Structure 1
Amino acid sequence: MRNLIFLFFIVLAISVTSCRKDFSTIPSFGQLEFSRDTVYLDTVFTNIGSATYNLKVYNRSNKDITIPTIGLERGNSSNYRLNVDGIPGKTFDNIDILARDSIFIFVETTVDVTSVPDPLYTDRILFDNGTNQQDVDLVTLVQDATFIFPGRDPISMEIDQLTLDGEPTAIQGRFLEDSELIFTNARPYVVYGYAAVPANKTLVIDAGARIHFHDNSGLIIDRDASLKVNGTLNEKVVFEGDRLEHVFSNVPGQWGTIWMREGSKENEIHHAEIKNAIIGVLVDATTSSTPTLTLKNTQVYNHSNFGILGRGTSILGENVVVGSAGEASFAGTVGGSYDFTHSTFANYWNNGIRALPAVLVNNFFTFTNDQGQEVIEPRDLTQANFINCIIDGNNNVEFIPDRVDGATFNFNVSNSMIKFNDINGSFTGVAELDFTDTNLYQNITLNGFADFRNTSANDFIIGQASDAIGLGDPTAAAQVPMDILGVIRTLNPDLGAYQHISF
């Protein structure tokens, strides 16, 4: 009991002293200092809340001061929200700052672009009044967008769950209507949940379009449906998350994937940039003799799992750059057919340990049966060709052809540079990694110096010191005569998606 009474008085003393103001102050005299004179809130989409920004307010004087008022110039009608020293609101009275101390002000906004006359929305934080008044500007750009919600409008967005193959799923989303099957470049698209393309329909995305996905969102191309991404050299199509603030520009895992389901057909992606998802592009099985996905002049990078994951499918790639990913940049699994020319696979993932190489191909499917046993089921890898490519990264081994018996395993790598430094001897005696076998490998450069411009920024343009210069097969280069930037490469082709430049 005595201990309980003692604890009670300690708690009471703390609560009393924490509420006491046992110091005297003088009114602010107009000489506050600020960590910045303008708070620029990065571009936001209409009706989507911004990130939180901070402003630090300093009292450099030797006196404890009280600021009589702090508030937004627009008052309660402002679309900005403040938190002053832990207190939320839009106006504040009698805020104390000790001598040579400071306080934090946090700022957020949500703006409906239709309710403001100018997309550049501004306000001011006013400190004090009269001759002592000081201010800090607030500025943000509000961008209009076309929104695609699971329930067709924000009110019902929690309702629809996708039904695939006649079975309900846990995937939140809906099938696009005919009127929604062309994405133009007039304004950005913001997708909540998964936007699915119905069977026998095609989603066409025009050059210059920008598609932004919310968390747990993406595209699904259903059986017998198609995706046509018609970017150009000067007007790329961009797929990324819906947070436009600079701090989110290189954050992986912000959205789901572009999923081409088993049986989707004749998908094409030209001149696109696909970034910051869980899986950039997921392509499932096909029975067609034509590629399920044709991918040209496209960058796929900064994904938390895979850049491109093929599962028993067919992919044709030219001038493709597949950058950092938490597992593999490109994985051609469960067999299939994969054909890449003048492509760069460079996995410089720096957000944790990466177990897989930049490029992985295999010819089997692994699953757990009803008895809890792991079962390996062979599947034919009819081809996996890499011509005039660079396969590189920050692991020692960046290329693994993983074969099991019982199914076809055909692959070939020619005129390519491969990072493969088996320092532990883990792959000694693996026939598929005998780089002297001319049936599998021709004109291979092992562990060459790529001289990428900036791997941390997924910028894989090669410089003048690159060992990849001039090593391309001219016959293959003639089929892809320009690099991803439109530079002619036919006379002296370099490896990878880029001809070299001087930095």
Structure 2
Amino acid sequence: MLKILIVTISCVLVAAACERQPKLFPPGDGDLRCSQDTLRFDTLFSTITSTTAWIKIYNASDRDLTIDSVYFSQGKSGYRASVDALPLSECRHLSLPAGDSLFVFVELTPSMQELSGPQAIVDELCFAYGQEKLRLVLEAFAWNAQLWRGKTITADTLLRADIPYVIYDSLVVSPDVTLRLDEGVHLYFHDGATLLVYGTIKSQGSLQQPVVFRGDRLDWAFDDFPYEWYPGQWTGVYLGTDSYDNEFDYTHIRGAYYGIISDSSSLEKQKLKLTNSQIFNMVYTNLYAMSTKMEVANTVLANSGSYTVALIGGDAVFTHCTIANYQVLVNREEDTPSLVVVNFTQ
């Protein structure tokens, strides 16, 4: 009798373990539901396409559904979408079996805005089925920017903070030309872009409004970590051999391969003055200077995959500076000191 009871209980447990678990769907009232009610994009620069975002829609009913059409409520907002790789023009009479789902991909290319600051772009992606309709709210902010592709500065120029500057490929300062950056100026460099200075650059920020050099991705890698902190978003700043009297005051340079590379120059003239600034999160080196006369004061140079500061010859004076390396975002070269000073190179 005991053996029969044990066998019976075991069969019941096995049957319970094999019972099919119910599907879990996002909350909502209709048969067609969305993984989120609003799809938000980070701030975008006008005319530049966003990264592609995605959501899922679910058939939460116990019967097959037919999605009659998918469309934008406004239609001219700059959003584009596809459903399971189909463009919206082909999204008619889509069959969605009970308990099944579809992927929806959305991107945005905002047009130029009438006002200078970030402007909201709102639309709805609508899924019509039978007498019902599912609405997905789309939200983004677009920001007018000065877009430069392979730009060369050939005359003395002052950049003001009334508009952001987005750099593709390179920004070149020609010989015998001075580029001045007013306080609050932001330069956003696209992947692989470089600032090449063969003349002179004077970056003149303030404590409240520093000048910023960074990558052009405005979105977030994680909920609490923006892409702008990642090393390798752009190439860096290069000071050519005949470039002198360069100044960076209250300037933040971050997220590149190199912070500043200073090529070999005469030691009879000052090439670089770096004060009250921050250079951090580089793939390789924050400051690499060869035969350079320079002054660095009240500046933080931190976090690199190789030497944080490398001085190869030259005449350098550092006052009240922090040089530290706690890089964890890229593979750091083993046994590499934060500071290396070499009197000569072969």
* Counterpart mapping for 1:294-309 below 5 A: 294-309=273-288
Amino acid at match of 1:112: S
What TM-score, normalized by structure 1, do the two folds share?
0.58
Matching of residue 238 in structure 1 with residue 212 in structure 2: yes
* Counterpart mapping for 1:101-250 below 5 A: 101-114=100-113, 119-128=119-128, 131-150=131-150, 174-178=151-155, 181-222=157-198, 225-247=199-221, 248-250=227-229
- How many angstroms apart in 1 are the aligned matches of 2:168 and 2:87? 29
Work out which structure has the larger RCO, using CA pairs closer than 8 Å and 6 or more positions apart in sequence: 2
Instruction: Provide closer, same or farther for how the CA distance between residues 314 and 112 of structure 1 changes in structure 2, counting only shifts above 3 A.
Output: same
Matching of residue 363 in structure 1 with residue 339 in structure 2: no
- How many angstroms apart in 1 are the aligned matches of 2:190 and 2:248? 21
Amino acid at match of 1:45: F
Instruction: Provide closer, same or farther for how the CA distance between residues 129 and 119 of structure 1 changes in structure 2, counting only shifts above 3 A.
Output: farther
Instruction: Provide closer, same or farther for how the CA distance between residues 361 and 288 of structure 1 changes in structure 2, counting only shifts above 3 A.
Output: closer
Instruction: Note the C-alpha offset of 1:211.
Output: 0.6
- How many angstroms apart in 2 are the aligned matches of 1:202 and 1:84? 51
- How many angstroms apart in 2 are the aligned matches of 1:65 and 1:82? 21
Matching of residue 311 in structure 1 with residue 296 in structure 2: no
Instruction: Note the C-alpha offset of 1:137.
Output: 0.9
Instruction: Note the C-alpha offset of 1:125.
Output: 0.6
Amino acid at match of 1:38: T
Instruction: Note the C-alpha offset of 1:195.
Output: 1.8
Instruction: Note the C-alpha offset of 1:345.
Output: 1.9
Amino acid at match of 1:59: N
Query: Which stretches of structure 1, 4 residues or longer, exceed 4 Å deviation after superposition?
Result: 114-118
SS of aligned partner of 2:110: coil
- How many angstroms apart in 2 are the aligned matches of 1:116 and 1:71? 28
Instruction: Provide closer, same or farther for how the CA distance between residues 316 and 96 of structure 1 changes in structure 2, counting only shifts above 3 A.
Output: farther
Equivalent pairs, count: 310
Amino acid at match of 1:235: Q
- How many angstroms apart in 2 are the aligned matches of 1:268 and 1:338? 14
- Greater fraction of residues in strand: 2
What TM-score, normalized by structure 2, do the two folds share?
0.83
Instruction: Note the C-alpha offset of 1:343.
Output: 1.6
- How many angstroms apart in 1 are the aligned matches of 2:130 and 2:278? 56
311, 326, 340: which one aligns with 2:318: 340
Q: Cα RMSD between the aligned structures?
A: 2.3
Per-residue deviation, residues 34-91 of structure 1 (Å, max 9, x unmatched): 222111111111111101111121223333322222222234x441111211223466
Per-residue deviation, residues 250-289 of structure 1 (Å, max 9, x unmatched): 3321212111111211111011111111111111122143
- How many angstroms apart in 2 are the aligned matches of 1:133 and 1:97? 15
Counterpart for residue 167 of structure 1:
none
Unpaired runs of at least 5, structure 1: 1-28, 151-173, 366-376, 378-503
Matching of residue 251 in structure 1 with residue 225 in structure 2: no
CA contact under 8 A between 1:268 and 1:293: conserved in structure 2? yes
Percent same amino acid at aligned positions?
A: 31
Unpaired runs of at least 5, structure 2: 1-28, 222-226
Amino acid at match of 2:317: D
Instruction: Provide closer, same or farther for how the CA distance between residues 98 and 301 of structure 1 changes in structure 2, counting only shifts above 3 A.
Output: farther
